[in-house]
């Protein structure tokens, strides 16, 4: 959610931002918010004047009663009673206007960075850099679910009977590999100075509204029937909401956390050959990195965070690239974002494995997350998030890039301690 001062003082900037995000239909919201804000401030001014007048009259009534001027005091008491009734009406109006303004404000996109490429969808995202050589081996690489099956490591048929499409059983060495990369990612981030955290896996609706747009909420979140609880789609949701309505000390910032959670998402995605297997699923596990910091530090943290992703994947012998997200591909709360994509030797193309985002103060405004500066002023914190590792999707890149012609899979040196010292996985088929 943006600062309402922008709409008061520079509505054209907000409308131009909507245009860059191909959401010009939301320009009417900007006008509506301005109109409602004017009415709200007029109402507040009138209400404050009435309250001031009531205070004055109340003092006069006290003086009149001391002077035994009961009749004059009664006249003023009647006026005060009428004013208090009007004040109550105005306060109800204020509450309704604030709620209406907030609802509309939450639909207006965050202001994006000046250097974000302009484009209507992810086809206009821009490759900025590559890390590692994308190798295509001389032998044929099977589809990732077939590689997993060769280790007796994947059973989607049984999961379909038990849970339906979009679920899976991982077993044996593949299940162990899944856990190993999560544990390795956890330790990797701890060594970077991040605090490890396991958050709640369900959160209230107001927390959901604080961390994501209404459109994302409807498309992603599973709601618990009969309760004000949602299953999280990523641990970022719980981790940012942890600071809801808090005033932090400036000395506490930056807060850097790495969190583990299962993730639950309604969408399965487009149909097709690359959508079978475990690429798009309803349930997966993820290690996340989350930062709360001062506004002047968020750009630097953004650079650090996506670079951590590159370093981690390169330590597992996986080539990656950085893809800058264009304006139309940014969710409404994002200031800037990039994807780290891993090389798929089988497909001979890159695919997303991490998403790093700077949301400036958009989430903090929704959730009321502020910090107290040394001069006593309170300011909204900036929030950032990035995927550390999200298996089983990242296992696709891992298996393909470490697969050998004989069907075995090499374990990179960094991961070997987490796999009981194994240097290689041998297929069962």
Residue 132 lies in a domain: yes
Which pLDDT does position 12 carry in this prediction? 97
Which pLDDT does position 74 carry in this prediction? 86
Residue 111 lies in a domain: no
Same domain, 28 and 147: no
Which pair of structure tokens corresponds to residue 43?
Answer: 């109402």
Same domain, 95 and 166: no
Which pLDDT does position 272 carry in this prediction? 41
The confidence band for 64, taking pLDDT boundaries of 50, 70 and 90, is confident
Residue 114 lies in a domain: no
Q: Is pLDDT at 361 greater than 70 in this prediction? A: yes
Give the total number of structural domains in the chain.
Answer: 2
Section 22-43 average pLDDT: 96
Q: What is the pLDDT of residues 406-429, one digit of tens each?
A: 999 999 999 999 999 999 999 986
Percent pLDDT > 90 in the chain is 84
Question: Strands (DSSP E) along 159-305, which ranges?
Answer: 169-170, 195-197, 202-203, 222-223, 230-231, 247-249, 255-264, 283-293
Which pLDDT does position 392 carry in this prediction? 87
Any bridge partners for residue 195, and if so which?
Answer: 257
Same domain, 100 and 132: no
Same domain, 76 and 172: no
Same domain, 98 and 128: no
Q: How far is CA 166 from the centre of its chain?
A: 23
pTM, two decimals, is: 0.89
Q: What angle do CA 70, 74, 78 make, to 5 degrees?
A: 170
Residue 375 lies in a domain: yes
Same domain, 274 and 349: yes
C-beta of residue 256 within 8 angstroms of C-beta of residue 194: yes
Which pair of structure tokens corresponds to residue 382?
Answer: 């900036």
- Across 45-59, 262-276, 331-345, least confident range: 262-276
Section 355-380 average pLDDT: 96
Residue 117 lies in a domain: no
Same domain, 410 and 355: yes
Which pLDDT does position 50 carry in this prediction? 94
Same domain, 61 and 204: no
Domain that holds residue 190: 122-425
Residue 115 lies in a domain: no
Which pLDDT does position 270 carry in this prediction? 42
Same domain, 191 and 271: yes
C-beta of residue 134 within 8 angstroms of C-beta of residue 401: no
Which pLDDT does position 136 carry in this prediction? 92
C-beta of residue 261 within 8 angstroms of C-beta of residue 285: yes
Q: Is pLDDT at 273 greater than 50 in this prediction? A: no
Residue 110 lies in a domain: no
Q: Is pLDDT at 77 greater than 80 in this prediction? A: yes
Q: What's the CA gap between 401 and 341, in Å, rounded? A: 13
Distances (CA, A) of 256 to 36, 38, 297, 384: 38, 40, 12, 10
Distances (CA, A) of 421 to 189, 398, 410, 418: 21, 17, 12, 7
The confidence band for 276, taking pLDDT boundaries of 50, 70 and 90, is low
Q: What is the pLDDT of residues 209-256, one digit of tens each?
A: 999 888 888 888 999 999 999 999 999 999 999 999 999 999 999 999
Q: Is pLDDT at 18 greater than 90 in this prediction? A: yes
Place of tokens 């909420």: 217
Same domain, 101 and 127: no
C-beta of residue 194 within 8 angstroms of C-beta of residue 289: yes
Q: Choose among 325, 328, 358: nearest CA to 23.
A: 328
Same domain, 210 and 160: yes
**CATH classification at residue 13:** 1.10.287.40
Q: How many CA atoms lie within 13 A of 182 on its CB side?
A: 19
Same domain, 72 and 129: no
C-beta of residue 326 within 8 angstroms of C-beta of residue 116: yes
Place of tokens 């006069």: 60
Which pair of structure tokens corresponds to residue 243?
Answer: 């600071």
Residue 113 lies in a domain: no
Q: Phi first, then psi: what are they for 45, rounded to 5°? A: -60, -45
Query: Domain boundary residue among 105, 136, 163?
Result: 105
**CATH classification at residue 135:** 3.30.930.10
Which pair of structure tokens corresponds to residue 420?
Answer: 């009981």
- The pLDDT mean for the chain works out to 93
Q: What is the pLDDT of residues 88-144, one digit of tens each?
A: 999 999 999 999 999 999 999 999 999 999 999 999 999 999 999 999 999 999 999
Q: Is pLDDT at 271 greater than 70 in this prediction? A: no
């Amino acid at each position: 959610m943006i600062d309402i001062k922008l709409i008061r003082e520079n509505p054209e900037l907000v409308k131009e931002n909507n245009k860059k995000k191909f959401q010009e239909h939301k320009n009417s919201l900007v006008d509506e918010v301005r109109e409602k804000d004017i009415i709200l401030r007029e109402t507040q001014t009138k209400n404050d004047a009435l309250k001031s007048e009531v205070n004055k009259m109340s003092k006069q009534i006290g003086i009149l009663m001391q002077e035994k001027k009961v009749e004059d005091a009664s006249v003023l008491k009647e006026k005060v009673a009428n004013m208090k009734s009007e004040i109550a009406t105005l306060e109800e109006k204020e509450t309704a206007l604030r709620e209406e303004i907030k609802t509309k404000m939450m639909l207006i996109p965050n202001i994006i960075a000046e250097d974000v490429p302009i484009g209507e969808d992810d086809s206009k995202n821009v490759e900025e850099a590559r890390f590692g050589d994308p190798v295509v081996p001389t032998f044929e690489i099977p589809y990732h679910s077939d590689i997993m099956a060769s280790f007796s490591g994947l059973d989607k048929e049984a999961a379909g009977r038990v849970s339906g499409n979009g679920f899976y059983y991982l077993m044996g060495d593949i299940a162990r590999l899944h856990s190993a990369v999560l544990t390795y990612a956890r330790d990797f981030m701890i060594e970077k100075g991040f605090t490890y955290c396991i958050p709640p896996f369900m959160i209230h609706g107001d927390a959901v509204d604080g961390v994501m747009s209404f459109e994302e909420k409807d498309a992603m979140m599973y709601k618990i029937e009969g309760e004000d609880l949602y299953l999280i789609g990523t641990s970022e949701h719980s981790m940012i909401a942890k600071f809801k309505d808090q005033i932090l000390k400036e000395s506490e910032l930056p807060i850097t956390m790495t969190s583990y959670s299962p993730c639950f998402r309604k969408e399965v995605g487009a149909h097709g050959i690359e959508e079978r297997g475990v690429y798009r699923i309803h349930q997966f596990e993820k290690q996340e990195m989350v930062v709360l910091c001062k506004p002047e530090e968020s750009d630097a943290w953004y650079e650090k965070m996506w670079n951590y992703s590159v370093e981690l994947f390169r330590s597992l012998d996986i080539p990656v690239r950085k893809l800058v997200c264009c304006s139309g591909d940014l969710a409404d709360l994002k200031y800037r974002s990039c994807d780290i994509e891993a090389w798929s030797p089988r497909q001979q193309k890159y695919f997303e494995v991490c998403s790093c985002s700077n949301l400036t103060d958009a989430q903090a405004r929704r959730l009321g997350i502020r910090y107290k500066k040394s001069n006593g002023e309170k300011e909204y914190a900036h929030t950032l998030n990035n995927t550390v590792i999200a298996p089983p999707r990242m296992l696709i890149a891992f298996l393909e890039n470490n697969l050998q012609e004989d069907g075995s899979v090499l374990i990179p040196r960094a991961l070997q301690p987490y796999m009981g010292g194994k240097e290689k996985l041998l297929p069962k088929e």
